[in-house]
Amino acid sequence: MKKKILDLIKKKDKQKIVVLTAYSKNVASILDKHCDIILVGDSLGSVLYNFKSTRQVTLETMINHSKSVRLGIKKSLMVVDMPYNTYRNPSEALKNSRLVMKETKCDAVKLEGGKKIIPIVKRLIKNKIPVMGHVGILPQTDKKFTFKGKKLKESVRLIKDTKLLENAGVFSIVLECVETKLSKKISNHIKIPTIGIGSSVNCDGQVLVIDDLTGLSQSKLKFVKKFVDITKMIENGVKKFKSEVLKKQFPKAKHSFSK
């Protein structure tokens, strides 16, 4: 059965929420059986295109990958990242989010930021576009990618930002690299689920980039855990293929056509 945003909110304090990124149909269809949310993250810029920053990701790229992901999803909620410079003001955000919703048939969009983006979030929600928030490290605009909540001022700001986002109507908030105790404070302070990445077990759910989880990306980031080594598995398959081709063992008659 197709998951609903309301069911996701109800999971808070009952069951952890499982979120992963996907950028294409085949991967999405594997994740769909196990995830609450599949996120088409603009992390695809670095993961797939070797971009230095997510700022280089375009709306067109996000839409194309999202269309592919959509084909693999039957039940999970699908959230699409709005890329950099596509939501600078409420009308730009509404125009571009409408396009993303229409073209990709996603369930929601995700925007990075706190207080500054509140008028934008409100405009989208007023126009029936569900929004997921994203605070902590903001890859689209931050200059330094160090964890958040070291200083009191920063912690207070994050607590305020998450409350503002909740009041503006977002259904969930990603906390990226937020200090452990602060993640707990924020998660207890708001009624909507927090989804952590590098933000400890104190969040209501967890998200990882799929290529990091599978070992395809060779990521060395502190918060990444390689749950399986797909690179090795692919390599083994490729080696076997090569060996059989060289020894003329593949293809066999059963893989060939005869009259």
Residues lying near ligand KIV in the complex (CB under 6 A) are found at: 21, 39, 41-43, 81, 134, 174, 197, 207, 209
Minimum Å gap between C-beta 235 and ligand KIV is 25
Minimum Å gap between C-beta 104 and ligand KIV is 15
Rounded Cα distance between 49 and 56, Å, is 10
Minimum Å gap between C-beta 61 and ligand KIV is 12
Beta-strand relationship, 108-110 and 77-81: parallel
Q: Kindly name the residue from 176, 179, 235, 244 that is annotated as catalytic.
A: 176
Q: Closest CB to ligand KIV among 134 and 185?
A: 134
* Number of helices followed by number of strands (H, E) in the chain: 10, 8
Q: Closest CB to ligand KIV among 116 and 242?
A: 116
Q: Closest CB to ligand KIV among 81 and 179?
A: 81
Q: Closest CB to ligand KIV among 81 and 107?
A: 81
Which residues, including other chains, have CB under 8 Å from residue 207's CB and lie 6 or more apart?
19, 20, 21, 37, 39, 174, 195, 196, 197
Which residues, including other chains, have CB under 8 Å from residue 49's CB and lie 6 or more apart?
56, 57, 61
Minimum Å gap between C-beta 203 and ligand KIV is 11
Q: Closest CB to ligand KIV among 32 and 239?
A: 32
Minimum Å gap between C-beta 152 and ligand KIV is 26
Q: DSSP state, 200?
A: -
Q: What is the DSSP secondary-structure string of 92-161?
A: HHHHHHHHHHHHH--SEEE--BSGGGHHHHHHHHHTT--EEEEEES-TTT-S--PPB-SSHHHHHHHHHH
Q: Is 176 a catalytic residue?
A: yes
Closest residue by Cα to residue 171 from 15, 33, 39, 10: 10
Q: Which residues are catalytic?
A: 176
